[in-house]
Amino acid sequence: MRDQAMQIQRELQAEEVSVSKHGVDIVITGDQNIKSLNTNGKGDDDIKDAINEAIKESQKVAAKKLQQMGGGLQGLLGG
C-alpha cells in the first residue's frame, strides 16, 4: 500500500493543471505546487480567485488518482 501511495504522489507531481481566470494564468501540479503565475497586472481579488480555481482543479486530479488506487481514502485507511 505504501509503494502504491508513493507512486500516486510521483504521478501527481508530474500532472499539471493550467487555469486562466480574470486574466490571471496559473500552472499548478497535481500535488498543489504552483509552477507558474502570471498576474498580467491584475488585482489581489482576481489573483486569489484564479489560485483558488487552480487548487480546486488540482484536487480533482488528486481525487481521480486516489480512486484509481483502489477506493480513494477508504483504500488508504484500510476500509
CB atoms within 10 A of CB 70: 11
pLDDT value of residue 4: 79
pLDDT value of residue 65: 83
3 state SS of 47: helix
The low-confidence residues of the chain, meaning pLDDT below 70, are: 1, 70-79
pLDDT value of residue 79: 47
pLDDT value of residue 74: 54
Domains in the chain (CATH in brackets) are 2-69 (3.30.1310.10)
Q: What is the DSSP letter of 19?
A: E
